[in-house]
Amino acid sequence: MSNANTNANANAPTPASSGRVAENRIIKAVANFLEWYGVPRLIITCFLLALLILAVIYRMDLGSLLGDSLKRVGMNGLLVLAMVPTITCGAGLNFGLPVGIICGLVGGVFSMSMNLTGFTGFFVAILLALPLSVIAGWLYAKLLEKVAGQEMMVGTYVGFSVVAGMAIFWLTAPIKNPSMIFAIGGQGLRYTLTLYDYYAGVLNNFLAFNIVIGNFAMTIPTGLLLFFGFFCVLMYLFFRSRTGLAMLAVGSNPEYAASSGINIRKMRYTGVIMSTVLGAIGIIVYAQSYGFLQLYNAPLYMAFPAIAAILIGGATLRKATISQVIIGSILFFTLLTTALPVVQTVLDGSEVGGGISEIARMIIQNGAILYALTRVGRR
């Protein structure tokens, strides 16, 4: 936006020749397009297209690339969706997502310790996580209320401390299931808990099918996508309900909301609690797809990919939509999934490949967040 304006302003006073005017018009049109599509989204789209073209040129297994990407989108989708309520209610990006994630992990761990398997295990995990995440969300909302204006920074470090503090809990948790605790010592949960005998893949395999066209074969994780889709629809409907629109007003202009008789505090709390709950469910979905529950420091940086995804989808610090969640998830996670195998194939034989996709993730993810943070807040 600022680009478009400065260009227009800078050139306006000079008596421009017609060529200049045409040039200006092109600049303006380009600027408008960038404004509409968004610079990060454009860069990522180009990257992704380049990777896919390379994959085709190098005759890679496109089916498994796309199948894996779809899986990755589905497993991260809810965590990205969790950003929408906090952005909409005016609390900004939820850097404190680990608060919700931890609740989900606790649910997942206890469901596992009860030796529940399949969908039972999965849903019991969610049921256990729900009350926890509502309480944690409420407390977190209370804190954010006190630090309004600094939510992002405080959220980040609250998230970090909760993760570190919970590590002590994992070490001392009263769980005796031998497949979950350290082999030596008889106490303390393992760093990663394998879900294969419990509820790994329940959603991914639900109604899953293969598409085979000649050489091209890809697996569709139907249940996973349905689950993500279901929550997207729920959220979509919510933001068209009276409460959802009230939340939107609170985030967009608190004074307008107040003058409309909306209880601002209640809406902020609702938004933060919703986000925390989504984070909790999100990590359980993630874990069943991944096949492991990752404890200790693993959730530390989990908020960042979700934040990057929604920003790449075109969201700002003040506004986010469900379509941005879906577009952002697809772009960012497909990119992450395809980058490694494509780069490795292209740089065949060279040892460079290994690190490069992780490096690309760091640069793209944090670049997208940086871009959003440095854009001037309009008001």
Cα 359 to Cα 271: distance, rounded to the nearest angstrom: 33
Cα 197 to Cα 191: distance, rounded to the nearest angstrom: 17
The one among 118, 131, 229, 355 contacting another protein by CB under 8 A: 355
The total number of residues shown for the chain amounts to 379
Residue 323 interacts with another protein (CB under 8 A)? no
Burial class (CB in 10 A: 0-12, 13-18, 19+), 261: exposed
Which span sits near another protein by CB under 8 A: 101-109, 194-202, 218-226, 367-375?
367-375
What number of other Cβ atoms are within 10 A of residue 127's Cβ?
11
Residue 157 interacts with another protein (CB under 8 A)? yes
Burial 354-379 (b: 16+ CB within 10 A, else e): eeebeebbeebbebbbebbeeeeeee
Instruction: Name the DSSP letter for residue 115.
Output: T
Which span sits near another protein by CB under 8 A: 17-25, 51-59, 71-79, 249-257?
249-257
What number of other Cβ atoms are within 10 A of residue 312's Cβ?
32
Residue 348 interacts with another protein (CB under 8 A)? no
Cα 107 to Cα 130: distance, rounded to the nearest angstrom: 8
Which span sits near another protein by CB under 8 A: 31-39, 116-124, 280-288, 354-362?
354-362
Which span sits near another protein by CB under 8 A: 67-75, 142-150, 217-225, 276-284?
142-150
State the nearest-atom distance from the C-beta of 374 to another protein, in Å.
4
What number of other Cβ atoms are within 10 A of residue 353's Cβ?
18
The one among 230, 259, 265, 323 contacting another protein by CB under 8 A: 259
Convert residues 184-213 into a mask of x (bound to another protein by CB under 8 A) and - (unbound). Answer: -x-xx-------------------------
* 266 contacts 90 by C-beta, under 8 angstroms: no
Which span sits near another protein by CB under 8 A: 121-129, 141-149, 203-211, 325-333?
141-149
* 221 contacts 210 by C-beta, under 8 angstroms: no
Residue 168 interacts with another protein (CB under 8 A)? yes
What number of other Cβ atoms are within 10 A of residue 75's Cβ?
25
The one among 153, 207, 211, 233 contacting another protein by CB under 8 A: 153
27-86 positions binding another protein, by CB under 8 A: none
Minimal CA–CA distance to 193: which of 71, 102, 290, 72? 290
State the nearest-atom distance from the C-beta of 73 to another protein, in Å.
22
Residue 351 interacts with another protein (CB under 8 A)? yes
The one among 32, 161, 177, 210 contacting another protein by CB under 8 A: 161
Tokens (6 digits) for 67: 């199948």
Closer residue to another protein in complex, CB, 74/100: 100
Cα 77 to Cα 224: distance, rounded to the nearest angstrom: 10
Cα 57 to Cα 233: distance, rounded to the nearest angstrom: 37
Beta bridge partners of 201: none
Which span sits near another protein by CB under 8 A: 106-114, 115-123, 225-233, 260-268?
260-268
Closer residue to another protein in complex, CB, 192/253: 253
Closer residue to another protein in complex, CB, 27/360: 360
Convert residues 91-130 into a mask of x (bound to another protein by CB under 8 A) and - (unbound). Answer: ----x-----------------------------------
Residue corresponding to tokens 């689950």: 227
Number of residues lying near another protein (CB under 8 A): 70
* 302 contacts 155 by C-beta, under 8 angstroms: no
Q: Which residues bind another protein (CB under 8 A)?
A: 9, 95, 143, 146-150, 152-154, 156-158, 160-161, 163-165, 167-168, 171-172, 185, 187-188, 237-238, 240-243, 245-246, 248-249, 252-253, 255-256, 258-262, 296, 304, 318-319, 350-352, 355-356, 358-363, 365-367, 369-370, 373-376, 379
